[in-house]
Amino acid sequence: MQRMFKASCGATEYQRQGKGFVFPNLCGELCPHCRSDYLRAHGYYSRYLILEDFSGEILVRRYICKECRRTVSLLPSFAHPGRAYGTKLVVDVLYNYYAMGKRICDIAADSVCSRQLFRWFRIRIVQNLNMLAMGLTNALCLRGPPLGAVAEKTRVGQFFSYIRSYDTEDISLKIFGHSRRTYLTPLSR
């Protein structure tokens, strides 16, 4: 299981601090899986992260339940769960296409994202749009979904315009905390 937290610094500083970074302490919390024992520190693992201004390995803090032997990992908010590409990069690429009307070849040339990966992002977002709209509505305690009943491309553009009007990482954290899903989480999970 992964939990996200708001990092107090950017990816470069986070990487530089390594194990010296002050992670949220989950020791003393009940295991979210079995609820029969408390979590204990269980070391770190490294994962690769790609952002517009950063690419490299970062450390992720892990905790373990001694009873059920399952782990909980703490992922910084600038990283996207299950993906090498960071949250802000995914949002920026999709915003440029849907809300700003940029062409795919221009976006691929301007960012570290390939056309094939961009296509995959687009497919997943369209599949998840209704779930994301409801997650955003619930996470921000809105009275209704921020999207109108318009064409699909316009709705996705509205979604990313709305997200970019806030802090992208905060919105991602709130949606993930509320629904345990991210922008690119498959619905079949």
Residue 36 counted as domain residue: yes
| The pLDDT of residue 189 | 45
Q: What average pLDDT does the segment 166-181 reach?
A: 76
Joined together, the tokens standing for residue 136 give 């955003």
If we measure between CA atoms, which residue out of 122, 134, 145 comes closest to residue 179? 134
- Which run of H or E residues covers position 43? strand 39-50
* Residue 15 or 80, more confident: 15
Domain boundary among 76, 108, 130: 76
Residue 185 counted as domain residue: no
Domain boundary among 30, 47, 76: 76
Same structural domain for residues 67 and 6? Answer: yes
* Spatial distance between the Cα atoms of 59 and 47, rounded to a whole number of angstroms: 7
Residue 188 counted as domain residue: no
* Spatial distance between the Cα atoms of 77 and 99, rounded to a whole number of angstroms: 23
Domain with 173 in it: 87-179
Q: Are strands 71-76 and 2-5 parallel, antiparallel or unpaired?
A: parallel
Same structural domain for residues 92 and 124? Answer: yes
Q: Assign 81 a pLDDT band (cuts: 50, 70, 90).
A: confident
Tens of pLDDT, residues 117-144? 888 888 888 888 877 777 777 777 777 6
Q: pTM of this prediction?
A: 0.76
Same structural domain for residues 26 and 47? Answer: yes
